[in-house]
Amino acid sequence: MKFALLGDWKFRSALTGWGLGTLTVVFLVYQWMPILTLGLLSFAGPTGGTTFPMNGVSLHWYEELWKATVMNDFKPPLVRSSLLAAACAITTVVLSVMSAQAMRGKFRGNDWFFYLMLLGIMAPGILVGFGFAILMRLLDVELAWNTTTFLVQVSWTLPFGFLTMLAVFNRFDSRVEEAALTLGASRLTTFRRITLPLIMPGVIGAGLFGFSLSYDEYPRSMFTTGPDQTLPLAVMAQLDRQLTPEIYAIGTTTTVFSLIAVLLCTSALWAMRRSTAPRKA
Amino acid sequence: MDALAPRTAGVAPSLPVAKPQLDLELRDIRKKYGDFTAVDGVSLKVPKGQFVCLLGPSGCGKTTTLRCIAGLEDPDDGGVLIGGKEVTRDPPWQRDIAMMFQDFALFPHMTVAKNVAFGLEMLKQPKARIAERVAQVLASFEISALADRKPGSLSGGQRQRVALARAMITEPRLLLLDEPIGALDYSLRETVMLELKLLQQRTGISFIWVTHDQNEAFSLGDLVVVMNHARIEQQGTPEDILQRPATAFVASFIQGNNVFRGTVLERAGGNVRIETAAGVFIVPCLGASPEIGATATFSVRAENISDTVSERHPNRLTAHCTAVEYFGAVRRHIFERADGEVLKVDHFGAQAARIAPGQSVLLGWQVEDTVLHQGIPG
Amino acid sequence: MSTIRVRSAASYWLAVPAAVWMLGVVVVPIALLAWVSLWGGRTFSPASPLTVDNYTKFFANKTYLQLALSTVGHTALLMVITGVLGYCIAYFLTMKVKSPAWRLILFLAFIVPFWTSTLIRGIAWVPFLGVNGVLNQALMFTGATRTPIEAFLYSVFGISMAQVSLYTMMAAGPVIYMLNAVAPQLREAAMTLKAPPLVVFWRIVFPLTLPGVVIGQVLVFLNVMADFATVATVGGNKHAMLSNLVLLFYEGSQHRAASVVAVLLMICMLIGVVAAMKVVDIRRLGADR
């Protein structure tokens, strides 16, 4: 009844909506299916293979993971990756706020600086890692996860944080700073008391980028990490040796880990945006 | 602006019709968003070639009404007729309208010429014809020099002209304007208003102009429609609305009215006596028949209050002058009434200032200058 | 006026640490690769004589050339698929979903995997595509095929499937951003100027979101070109792209050959990015119109 009333252009518009909606939902299923399969298979029984049928349901592979031998113990790599990611997040936040603030000062050569940062995103990790490894070799520097890998990973996480902060400052209303400055606050005080709280959502976003990009990074670490591996390297090494549901267990664990981190950060972001957003009239 | 010739009435000699054709008719339009009622039973008839102003405070439903006319909103109920044709469920692109948006909504990725040509391209006119018309219209709006510029590089006044040219080039039956000069500098507005008024008169296209600025509405509108809380409070000529505000809302919304509120004491011929906190006043009923003891409101315009009171002024009160504002043509005196409310009294500028702040003055006005409002005030 | 003075020394010094970091870790190593790729002689040292022999050796090998071509072709295919898919999804999420709650849920369902490990997501496709994998079991169950299809895992088809799931988000993200920035009045203005929906899309919406499309395509291009990890996990040892060659040579201690491939890869990417920059000014992203 209503359709006839609405006329056929509305029907067509609704049809487009349904078509695109179906496509979207199909893609979402497509995107999530492997992840969910991975999660499901990680709970397979002790005799379970790497695909269906599962041969029972158990926590066997998680137990294996927990009491692993030296060869495939994922605990130290997990600790290393977490520490590394935290360090990268902090460094990214500090450096990206500094450099985005610098961009507001329109210093001479800021164009080149911008492209330099962009290069960090554009340049493939495999090249940066390989090049840096060669450089370290020529300079006779020992490779280690907490020195060389840290240096390389920040060059990857920093540009993302920088772009985030740049976008934040592009929307930032500097009149609030002017207000504080005319009230007699120094530039430093104004930055600390006015600017920083207002850009906090962006800062958290930059930190999130820093953490998760570093935590998941593989190609840059591959060439620059010494004997003590990070988590993605350990996973890849295990995959090369043998594909067991244990890999699924570690994969599920880190994925859940990442999801929790994202959830925490987005809710923090959301809460902050709510508290600083101007009320709608 | 000669390129826009007057619209010829009708395409072919049509059958004789009983009533003159309306450019626009709204029949009891209603629109709700969830619990919020945006338009609540708006009816309106616009004869050919009228300049209509929808006036009201923000959130009163005037923009939603305009969007229902354009087809950008679907009314929940009621009918929209453009040129006598029912279009209530027709999409915007099938209606004989054009629209000017508040921030002009120029297409940022197209040049001025391309923006203006857009409507004709949609009508699938031949390329040569489009180019010719665009050149004509650009010239008539004196923006030929801007033809190859992008909107981002234009001033507010230039954008306004481009938007107008873009809307007018298709020669629609109705031009809908949503606060069309609200984004312009104050100094530009008067000139633009005059140009638009002349353009409307010359082309004979009906303009539906939404505004919250009463100066715009009164200086431009043939018909002014005052809206509040999703309803039409009053519609009429500017004179009607200025001299005879129908409701307490209209009286207080329109500048220069002094609104009184009181209780009806008794009838006396065609008049009633109303007791207010500032005294008892005689108010003509003019057809209305307020009940004794009911609450009523009435108003008197500031320029109708005299400080030289005689027997012609049976409505009187004493008030204390607190300030005098000088507007050139008008000198406005702000008084404080006995009940603490503000009373405004205007004297025309040629008269020398007679009242100074601090004075207490006896003021009076004639019975026929007092306007009783309809409805029971909330 | 703001907390930083324009062209002040402070603004300069604030940028120095980041600039030094990026120069030392990105620019110098890549320049070094370019240099190393020209090293001749027997020993691997800066004292080596410079020569273009490494390049001529690479280009003389037909297999390598074919690999380079197929890498570019594969990347182009991925760009088309993710571009179309990404635009459709972006349009649906921003324009067609009316309920804010549903929009948020679908949006999160779309982008959250982006925050998890690409490596793990690549690996997740393995049990899916194998001979006994979920896909084959499903196909056999429905009777679409009798014997399992071996071509899924360790094939370009499998690699593409995995990469589409990994990178569609990159194509869609910038488009979502740009679609949100298109003022609704522009579409409405076009409609009142007699443009039906499809014309509104082609003449107004699509041109205004084109920068988002271009940026998305650049991201997909860069990531697919360099994605040796997915090729290695899903493609096994049977398939390689240009970036896998770097790894292959590196593991074989052929550092000079690896450098040659790295330089070629870098040149491809620079060309792609520069071409894209001609279309869009990335710096204006995030500014209010």
Whichever domain contains B80, its CATH number is 3.40.50.300
More confident residue, C30 or A244: C30
What does pLDDT average to over chain A? 84
Average pLDDT of the segment spanning A239-265: 81
Sign of the Cα torsion B278, B281, B287, B290 reads positive
Angle at C278 between CA C274 and CA C282, to 5 degrees: 85
pLDDT in tens, C180-236: 989 999 999 999 999 999 999 999 999 999 989 999 999 999 999 989 889 988 887
Residues B65, B152 share a domain: yes
Residues B280, B180 share a domain: no
Instruction: State the greatest distance between any 2 C-alpha atoms of chain B, in Å, as a whole number.
Output: 75
* pLDDT of C161 strictly over 70: yes
Residues B190, B253 share a domain: no
Range of the domain at B33: 22-242
pLDDT in tens, A37-64: 888 888 877 776 666 666 777 787 888 7
Task: Classify strands B231-236 and B223-228 as parallel, antiparallel or unpaired.
Answer: antiparallel
For the domain made up of C61-284, give the CATH fold. Answer: MetI-like fold (1.10.3720)
Task: Find the closest chain A residue to B59 by CA distance.
Answer: A281
Q: Which chain B residues are within 8 Å of C289, Cβ to Cβ?
A: 108
Residues B346, B300 share a domain: yes
Task: Find the closest chain B residue to C209 by CA distance.
Answer: B109
* pLDDT of B10 strictly over 60: no
Interface of C with B in 155-214 (CB under 8 A): 183, 185-186, 188-196, 199, 203-204, 207-208
Residues B197, B284 share a domain: no
More confident residue, B326 or B281: B281
Interface contact C191-B92, CB threshold 8 A: yes
Residues B234, B261 share a domain: no
* DSSP line for A26-47: HHHHHHHHHHHHHHHHTTB-TT
**B76 has a chain A CB within 8 A of its CB:** no
pLDDT in tens, B75-134: 999 999 999 999 998 999 999 999 999 999 999 999 999 999 999 999 999 999 999 999
Count interface pairs B-C at CB distance under 8 A.
63
* pLDDT of A221 strictly over 80: yes
What does pLDDT average to over chain C? 87
Cα distance between residue A149 and residue A167, in whole Å: 28
Neighbours of A49 (CB within 10 A): 17
Task: Find the closest chain B residue to A6 by CA distance.
Answer: B89
Q: At what angle do helices C242-251 and C206-226 cross, to 10 degrees?
A: 20
pLDDT band at B146 (very low <50, low <70, confident <90, very high): very high
Query: Is B15 a domain residue?
Result: no
Residues B176, B102 share a domain: yes
* pLDDT of B3 strictly over 70: no
First to last CA, chain B: 49
* pLDDT of C150 strictly over 50: yes
- pLDDT of C281: 65
Question: Hunting for tokens 């002014």 — which residue is that?
Answer: B224
What does pLDDT average to over chain B? 90
Last residue of a domain, one of B196, B225, B242: B242
Interface contact A23-C17, CB threshold 8 A: no
Question: Closest approach of chain A CAs to the CA of C206, in angstroms?
Answer: 16
Residues B142, B109 share a domain: yes
Q: What residues are paired with A75 via a beta bridge?
A: none
Average pLDDT of the segment spanning B287-297: 86
- pLDDT of B1: 43
Query: Is B185 a domain residue?
Result: yes
Average pLDDT of the segment spanning B126-144: 95
Structural tokens at position A106: 């329109």
Q: Testing the interface with A: which of B89, B93, B95, B212 to mutate, by most A Cβ within 10 A?
A: B89
Interface of A with C in 97-126 (CB under 8 A): 98-99, 101-108, 110, 113-114, 116-126
Residues B196, B281 share a domain: no
- 3-class DSSP state for residue A271? helix
Query: Is B211 a domain residue?
Result: yes
pLDDT in tens, C99-133: 888 998 899 899 888 888 888 888 888 888 877 77
Cα distance between residue C73 and residue C49, in whole Å: 36
Q: Is B4:B171 a contact under the CB 8 Å cutoff?
A: yes
- pLDDT of A48: 67
Question: Closest approach of chain A CAs to the CA of C62, in angstroms?
Answer: 23
Q: Which of A23, A51, A138 sits opposite C127 (nearest CB)?
A: A51
Q: Say which DSSP state C50 is in.
A: B
* DSSP line for A61-100: HHHHHHT--STT--HHHHHHHHHHHHHHHHHHHHHHHHHH
Cα distance between residue B324 and residue A249, in whole Å: 83
Query: Is B182 a domain residue?
Result: yes
Residues B201, B88 share a domain: yes
- pLDDT of B2: 47
- pLDDT of B129: 95
Structural tokens at position A18: 């349904």
Average pLDDT of the segment spanning A127-133: 93
Task: Find the closest chain A residue to B89 by CA distance.
Answer: A6
Q: Is B241:B326 a contact under the CB 8 Å cutoff?
A: no
Read off φ and ψ for residue C26, nearest 5 degrees.
Answer: -110, -55
- pLDDT of B16: 53
Query: How is the beta sheet containing B231-236 ordered, strand by strand?
Result: B97-100, B174-178, B206-211, B51-55, B223-228, B231-236
Interface contact B89-A6, CB threshold 8 A: yes
Compute the CA torsion angle A140, A142, A147, A148 (nearest 10 deg): 60
* pLDDT of A242 strictly over 80: no
Q: Which chains touch A (3 or more CB pairs under 8 A)?
A: B, C
Q: Which chain A residues are within 8 Å of B90, Cβ to Cβ?
A: 7
Q: Testing the interface with B: which of C188, C194, C288 to mutate, by most B Cβ within 10 A?
A: C194
Q: Chain centroid to CA C205: how far? A: 24
Q: Is B363:B352 a contact under the CB 8 Å cutoff?
A: no
- pLDDT of B341: 87
More confident residue, B325 or B4: B325
- pLDDT of B19: 56
Report the percentage of chain C scoring pLDDT > 70: 96
- pLDDT of C167: 94
Cα distance between residue A34 and residue C130, in whole Å: 12
Q: Which of C192, C195, C196 sits opposite B97 (nearest CB)?
A: C192
Average pLDDT of the segment spanning B179-186: 87
Residues B84, B113 share a domain: yes
Last residue of a domain, one of B180, B210, B242: B242
Burial B100-118 (b: 16+ CB within 10 A, else e): bbeebbbbbbbbbbbbbbb
Interface contact A223-C269, CB threshold 8 A: no
**C6 has a chain A CB within 8 A of its CB:** yes
More confident residue, C152 or A145: A145
Last residue of a domain, one of B184, B216, B242: B242
* pLDDT of A1 strictly over 60: no
Residues B335, B269 share a domain: yes
Question: Closest approach of chain A CAs to the CA of C16, in angstroms?
Answer: 8
**A6 has a chain B CB within 8 A of its CB:** yes
Neighbours of A66 (CB within 10 A): 12
**B107 has a chain C CB within 8 A of its CB:** yes
Q: Which chain C residues are within 8 Å of A120, Cβ to Cβ?
A: 22, 26
Q: Which chain C residues are within 8 Å of A254, Cβ to Cβ?
A: 116-117, 120
Q: What residues are paired with B44 via a beta bridge?
A: B26
Interface of C with A in 32-71 (CB under 8 A): 32-33, 36, 46
**B223 has a chain C CB within 8 A of its CB:** no
Question: Closest approach of chain A CAs to the CA of C178, in angstroms?
Answer: 13
Cα distance between residue B314 and residue B283, in whole Å: 10
Highest mean pLDDT among A255-269, C37-51, C65-79: C65-79
Average pLDDT of the segment spanning A185-190: 88
Q: Which of C15, C121, C164 sits opposite A35 (nearest CB)?
A: C121
The residues spanned by each domain of chain C are: 61-284
Q: Which chains touch B (3 or more CB pairs under 8 A)?
A: A, C
Structural tokens at position C14: 């604030």
Report the percentage of chain B scoring pLDDT > 90: 75
- pLDDT of C187: 95
Q: Which chain C residues are within 8 Å of B101, Cβ to Cβ?
A: 185, 188-189
Q: Give me the number of domains chain B comprises.
A: 2
CATH number reported for the structural domain that contains residue B297 in this entry: 2.40.50.100
Interface contact B89-A5, CB threshold 8 A: yes
Average pLDDT of the segment spanning B231-256: 94
Interface contact A5-B90, CB threshold 8 A: no
Interface contact C117-A31, CB threshold 8 A: no
ipTM: 0.88
